[in-house]
Structures are given as C-alpha cells and as structure tokens.
Amino acid sequence: MLKSIIKREILSNLLSYRFSIMTVLSTTLTLASIFLMYRDYGLARENYEVLASEDAAAVIPPTPLSIFAKGLEENLCRAYALSLGERISASSKQQSVNDLFKLFTVPDLLYIIKVILSLCAMLFAFDMVSGEKEAGTLRQSLSGSLGRPILIVGKWIGGFTSFILPFFLAALLGAIFVSLQPKVAMGPQDWARLGLFLLSSVIYLAVFFSLGLLISCLTHESSSSLVVSLFAWTLLVFLIPNLGNILARQLVEVPTVQQLELTRRHIALSALMEVNRLPDWPERKTRLEQARSEQDQLTEDYRNRFARLVTLSQNITRVSPTAAFTFLATDLAGTGIAEERRLKQAVVQYLSERGDDQEPDRPRFSYQRTSCRVVLGRGGLGNFLILVLFDLLFIAATYVAFLRYDVR
Amino acid sequence: MWKPLKVIIAREFLHNLLNLRFTIGLVLCFMVTVACIIILSHDYRQELTDYSRRVNLHEEFLSKFAATEGISVFQMTPKEKPPERFRPLIIGIPGNDTQDSLDENPLTILFPHLDFLFIVTIVMSLLALLFSYDAVTKEREKGTLRQMISNSVSRTTILLGKFLGGAASLLLPFLLALLVGVLCINLNPNIQWDGSAWAEVGLLLAASLTFIASFYLLGLMVSTWSRSSAVAMLNCLFLWVLLVLVIPNVGPYVSAQLRRIPSIRETERREEEVKRACFETRQQRRKEFDEQFRGKYGRLFSQFEALGFGDQVDNRKKVEELAAADSQFKAMVDAFRSELARLGQEGRTAQNNALGELWADLNMKAAAQTRLAKSLAAVSPLADFVYVARDLTGTGLRSLKYFAESMQDYMFRFGKYVSGVEAEVKAAYKNDPTPEGGWPLDLRDHPRLVFREEPLKDKLGAALPYWGILGLFNVVFFAGAFAGFMRYDVR
C-alpha cells in the first residue's frame, strides 16, 4: 500500500506544472552557480599563483570546495605580512576592484540551497494536504481502507523524492564538471567533505519540505497554507539568523575594528614620541616593550570578546535551521568562521616566530585546512544533529496534525 | 466610470483587509520594521560614540605630540567616513579602511544585513506578489468575475480598481510600520535630521512605493495570463526568485567573466616590472652617456670619474677645487651635471608615464566592468531600487567616492595649515638649535573634518535614471496586465 501511494505521488508530481518549474529552477541555478563559482575559483587560483611565486609572507591556496560554499574564502586567501611596528596586516589587493560585489550576495551553491531551494521545498509541499482537501480527493483516499499514517508517510516520501531528485542530479553533474577541470585538484578528503555537504543539503531541504507539509496539515485552504509558509520561510531564512547576530552584539560589547586599529596606532605612536625624549637606550627599550605589551593586551582583549560574540551569535542563531546549515556547510568546505580563526592563529604564530627574518632558506608558511573528522567533532556534528532534530520534529508534528485533520 | 471604479477599489481593499494575508503582512511589517529601526538606531548611537572617541584621540595626539620633527601628524588623522545619518534605516557599505586589518569582522559576510532595504526588497516584494497573484484567477474560479463583467463594468475599470484597491491594502501595513519607525527615529535625541534629510526620506518612500507597485503589477500581470491560482502563484514565485534572488547577485560575476581585469596585486607586479625595465634603461643610457663624455673629454673625465663624480661629501670638495682651478674641467662638470639632470628627468617622466598608463588602464577596465555589472543587474527591479535608495540616502558607492574626494580636499587643507604653522615656528626659532624631536607645534586651530552630504540635487540626478527604469517596469507590467486581461476568458 505504501509503495503504491509513493508511486502515485511521484507520478502525479512528475506530470505537474509545479515539478517542471521547480526542476528548471533547481537545475539551471545549480549548474549556473557551480559554473560561475568555478570561474571565480580560477581567478582566485591565478592570484594565489602570483603571490606564491613572489614568496609572499603567509598565503594559502583557495580550496576547490569554495566553488560550492564560498563562505569566508576571500578572507582566508589574503596574503598576511608584517608591516610597520610589527603589525600583522592582510592584503586586500587580491580582491576585485569591482565595488558592485559589495552590494549583492555571492550566488554560490550554498546560497542557492539555503535561500532558493528551501523556498522551492516549501512550495512543493504547502498544498499537499490542504490542496487535496479543497479538490475533494483527500476524503476519497481516506474513505477506503487506507490508513492516515500510511497516506502521510507515502506523501512525504513520494513528494520529497520527486523534489530532491532534479537537484541531486544537477549537483552530481556539477561535481563531475568540476572534477574534470584541470585547475581543480580534489583529494579524497575533499570528496568526503563534498559528500557530507550534499547530504546535509538534503537534510536541510527535508526540514523545509516537512515544515511545508506541516503547515498544509494545519490549514484548510491552500491560499492560507501559502501565506503561512512564506511567513515561516522569511522568518527562518532571513529574520532569525540576522536578528540573532544583532542580539548577540547587544549582549557582548565589542569595539569596532576602526577603534581597535586607531587605539593600537595611538599607543605605538605615543610610545615612539616619548622614546625620543628619553636619555638612554635601556629606558627607551622598557618604554617600547611597555607599549607593545599594551597593544598585545588590547588585541587579546578584543579577540577574546570577539570570540565570545561569535560563539553567542552562533548559539542564538542555531534556532534557525538556515543558520545551522550555513555554519555546517562552510565548516565542511573549510571556509567557515572556525577555519578563519584557526588560520589567523597560525599566521600570528608564524609571523611572530619569523619576525623580520629575510633569510631565503627560512621555512615557508604552510597550513592544512581542518580535517573532516575535526570539523565534525568541533560543532559540525552538533549542527548536523540540529538539522536532523528539526526534521524529526516537523515530521512528527506533521504526523500528529494529519491524524487529527478534518478532511471534510 | 468613476462610481464603479470607486466601488471596485473599496471592494478590493476591504476583501484584502479581511484576509489572512493582510494580517500576516501587518504582523511581519511591524515586527521587522520596528525591530530593525530600534536596533539600527542603537547601533548608530554606538557608532557615533565610537567615531567621537576616534576624533578625540586624534585631537589628543596633536596636542601632545605635534612637532616639527618626529612622527608625522598625518599618522593619526581619522580616515573613516562618519556614520551615515541614514544608518538607522539603511546599513552603509563599508569602506576599504580596515580591509587590511587582521581583526576584520567576518560575521557580516555570512549573513546579509537586515535593514530598510531588506524589508522593501524581500518582504514587501514577496507580499506584493502574495496579494496580487490571484487577483484575477481567484475571481474567475469563484465565478464572480463573470458576473462583474456581465454588468456594464468595463475591463479597464475592473483592472484599474483591482490595482488601486489591492495596492492600497498592501501599502497600508507598510506605511503604518514605517510611520511608527520614523516616529522612533524622530524621538531619538541622538538622531538629528534636518530639512534635506526629511526630503530624502520622502524621496526614499516614493522610490519604495514605485518598487512595491512594480511587483504588485507583476503579480497582476501573471494573474491575467494564467487560468488557475496555483499556476499563477508558481509563475509569480519563479519570476520573484529570478528578479530578486538571482539576477542581481549573478550580475557582478558574469561581468567579471565577460570583462576580465587583473587584480590590484597583479597590476602591482606589472608596476614592479615596469620600474625594473625603466631602471635598466636608465642604467644603459647612463653607460652610453659616460662613454660619450669619456670619448669627448678623455683624461679630464677619468679624473672626474675617479672622484666618484663628486657624489660623496669628501669628493665634492675636491671636485669644486679642481673646477675652480681648471676652467675646462669646470665646463665638463657643468655639462655633465646638466646632461645627467636632463637624463634623470627624462627617465622619471618615462617611468611615470608608463606607470600612469598601467594604472589608468586598470581603472578604465575596472570602470567598464563595474558599468557592465550595473547594467546587467539593472534588468532586475531590485538592483534599480538598491541603486536609487543608496544614492538618495548617501549609503552607497557614490557616497564613498564623494567622501574620498572630500577627504582628499581636507588633507590638502590640513597639510597646508600644518606647513604654515611649521614655517612660522621654524622662522621664530631659526637662530636656536633644534631640540630632539623638533619644536612643538600648536595646532589647536587646525581645520576640522566636517563632512557634508552631497547636495540632494546631485544625488537625485544620479538616482533618476534607475528610478526611470523602475517606472518603466511599472508601465510594462501594467501594459502586460492590461493586454492579458483584455483577452482573458472569464468563463
């Protein structure tokens, strides 16, 4: 019985206009996004090769997974060096001079999935029950010996399968295209990460599909389901992640970067001016060391507060599956906040040890992105479980709601 | 015509008012707008305090350490733009001043900003489609459209009535929420808006209404070309995804592929190559020049060469002594120095020209790419509205450029003032030995950076073309809806 319901659901979806629109949208956007981001990766790779050939102080190559989830890749691939006053600065000069990039969002696969496909998932499911009720076919289906549990499970499986298949095929095609490119070298770790990224995408989309189905089981008209679904989507995808960040900033006060940089500069310059008026070298040395210690303390304080802000922000925004998925996907791709923090720590350590040493045989900066196992161990698994939990919650709620649904 | 039109408008308005979507729209608009404005106003206050602290640090530095020697007074000049006065409504684009900082905040990259632009471009555009996608199809499905047309009500009147009544019911929650938000801003003592700021708010509101109306008309148009509400809804959302989420974001990337430009780093590398090539050319020309003089002056030139051409302090005296003793030697030295200066000038000019061409080429290509990206994105009403809104409120790229020009002008005036004071102090103490660190400078009356927004006239001039495109979208969508409805089978 379950198999026939699933088959019926898949067939009726395949022949529907909705399926055609969603397939065209998901396939076109997935492939276009992968192509565009692959070209963008090519430019980043060229920039890296220029810097690596010049023996820049500390720079890492872009990861091929940034094609799928760009995240903080631009920040990660900057060249770091020591500037005046032993200050570590990051060169922004590999970035594009086209200022229009600042106005709009990066159209990587992560964006396509978390914003566009999540909407598509909800639109696929919002009238699966309420629409059938309006058409009168739900009453007919249940008037026989068909149980409600089997019907709703069959609807979920059949509906989700017909929704996810075009996206999955498009993503697979995109991955094959990327793997065939000579500029892209993906190792076994990268493939494992990509696999996990696609798996978490499927679970993320299942969350919104289940939510759409739940809303359909809680309303009696498809127009009402639509309105409520769009409201829920706007709330989960845009509002909660953003408001969460804003709320975190109100709870943890962190000075701006401009303030930090100016105060550091003020300490350094004040010390330099005072040092000129001191009579002998030991006193000057003490004053300079005092200034450096003040700067280090200020920077340490800023970085600790910022780390607390990031942790609090992540904890608050995880209430939204979109935020949990964003953190998971960027961590898996090696372009997340944790990776950025780890890289900065490695850069600080390397440059502090190297100092102004210009010897040609000094060890070059080398950095390995976090392994998959460590990513999962340090919060990745937690985000994954949050998505699974949302899924189970919405599926359970749908089940209960449908059992009590008035089909007349 | 007017009576039936008024009746249809009232009917459409009341029908929407009693619908669930109005309630949802009202709740969403209020919640987001008011929360946004309160939080952004609080952020604005913090940024103002932060900016004042930086200005005070600068004043403190100048009063303690400004001197004729030692650290340049320009080191501590705050170079950041003051917080935009429309920061409580729209988050501005960050400048490039802290991009080289190791501690730049990465959080804002992962999640887009929540501000007035978000409310209008995402929330209101979606609501507009939600209000209008079934304006015609639903009535056809219920059978009321057939009844309306069977009376002496023209299709034009019906369409116009649906547009005006529907749009009014859509804009009501938006305007109410905005009113409450603007009231909060007005009551905030930290936010002082003058007449021109309120005029800009008015223009921003007008632009927002144009944008929202375009999406309402898009929904209406799709409804007149569809037979069922389900199909109309899918088509509307498909178009919304394309126009709002895809086209604006893809534009810059497509333009980067079509008009490739080297990165700044790549151009710097070429710059170093040019400098190296110019240096080698100068070396070569110097060799030839030396050979020429050796050939012409023989022993005299060898003597001059042995003294290192008088470049070192010790040898310079000997060269002067020889020149005073031998008129031929003096003539040779004068000719040599004159030719060398000319050669040096030529070399520098050639290098500057080559570098100028290199950077001009990059800037030209960058401008072409940005123009292409802007044009590609302008196909979407969202991009047009973003350009208009940011230009009108001074929170966009144009404003950053304007600030950079103002900053350049201020640094020139500041530099001139400091040079004047330095010259006075040096003249006053010209007979006294300079102490270590130089003579202190009193810069209390130095010119302060007072950033004035670009005149409204200029902002409007920049925004009008894109506003015009938005207006064109309205006309096109209305024409499409009109054409669709005239041919619509109401049975």
The interface predicted TM-score of the complex, written ipTM, equals 0.85
CA quadruple B118, B123, B128, B133: dihedral, nearest 10: 130
Contact flag A262-B78 (C-beta cutoff 8 Å)? yes
Instruction: Give, in order, the Cα–Cα distances in Å from B424 to each of A84, B410, B417, B429, B445.
Output: 31, 21, 11, 9, 14
Within-domain flag for A328: no
Mutate to test the interface with A, among B29, B105, B110, B121 (most CBs of A within 10 A): B110
CB contact under 8 A, B246 and A29: yes
- How many angstroms separate the CA atoms of B466 and B243, rounded? 15
Q: How far is A3 from chain B (nearest CA, A)?
A: 27
> Count of alpha carbons within 13 Å of B92, Cβ hemisphere only?
27
B172 reaches A (C-beta below 8 A): no
CA distance A236 to chain B (A): 13
Per the structure, the count of domains in chain A is: 1
**Helix and strand counts by DSSP (H, E) for chain A:** 17, 2
Per the CB < 8 A criterion, the answer to whether A240 and A288 are in contact is no
How does B377-409 read in b/e, with b if 16+ C-beta sit within 10 Å? bbebbbbbbbbbbbbbbbbbbbbbebbeebbee
The distance of A104 to chain B (nearest Cα, Å) reads: 5
Contact B437 A92 (CB under 8 A): no
For the cut 70, the answer to whether the pLDDT of residue A301 exceeds it is: yes
Q: Which of A257, A266, A348 sits opposite B105 (nearest CB)?
A: A257
Between CA B259 and CA B253 the distance in angstroms is: 10
Residue A152 located in a structural domain: yes
> What is the distance in angstroms between the Cα of A145 and the nearest Cα belonging to chain B?
30
Contact A303 B257 (CB under 8 A): no
- Enumerate the residues of chain A whose CB falls inside 8 A of the CB of residue B265: 47, 50-51, 79, 91, 93-94
The answer to whether position A294 is within a domain reads no
Tell me the pLDDT band of A117, cut-offs 50, 70 and 90: very high
CA distance B107 to chain A (A): 8
Residue A351 is assigned to a structural domain of this protein: yes
Residue B70 touches chain A, beta carbons under 8 Å: yes
Measure the CA–CA gap between B213 and B291, rounded to whole angstroms: 79
The per-residue pLDDT for range B55-65, each reduced to its tens digit, is 887 788 777 77
If you compute the radius of gyration of chain A from its CA atoms, what whole number of angstroms results? 26
Q: What is the pLDDT of residues A178-224, one digit of tens each?
A: 999 888 888 888 999 999 999 999 999 999 999 999 999 999 888 88
Q: How far is A307 from chain B, CA to nearest CA, in Å?
A: 11
Q: Do A25 and B134 touch (CB under 8 A)?
A: no
| A267 domain residue, yes or no | no
Residue A41 lies in a domain: yes
Return residues 79-138 of B near A (CB < 8 Å): 80, 93-94, 96-107, 109-114, 118, 122-123, 126, 130, 134, 138
pTM of the predicted model over 0.90: no
Distances (CA, A) of A57 to A89, A357, B271: 11, 11, 20
State how far the Cα of B160 lies from the Cα of B5, in Å rounded to an integer: 7
Write the single-letter amino acid at B117. Answer: L
Domain around A385:
2-237+333-403
Domain for residue A317, yes or no?
no
Query: How far apart are alpha carbons B63 and B51 in whole angstroms?
Result: 19
| B167 phi, psi to nearest 5 deg | -65, -40
**Each residue's pLDDT expressed in tens, for chain B with a length of 491 residues:** 678 888 889 988 998 888 888 888 888 888 888 888 888 888 888 888 888 888 887 788 777 777 776 556 666 666 677 888 888 888 877 665 555 666 666 777 777 778 899 899 988 999 999 999 999 998 888 888 888 888 878 889 899 999 999 999 999 889 988 888 888 888 888 788 888 888 999 999 999 999 999 999 999 999 999 988 888 998 998 999 999 988 888 888 888 888 888 776 677 778 888 899 988 998 898 898 888 888 888 888 888 888 888 877 778 888 888 888 888 888 888 888 888 888 888 888 989 898 888 888 888 888 888 888 888 889 999 999 999 999 999 888 888 888 888 888 888 888 888 888 888 888 888 777 777 667 788 888 888 888 888 888 999 999 999 999 999 999 999 999 999 999 888 77
Residue A246 domain-assigned? no
Point out the residue among B96, B107, B134 whose CB comes nearest to the CB of A310: B107
- Phi/psi for A81 (5° steps) reads -150, 165
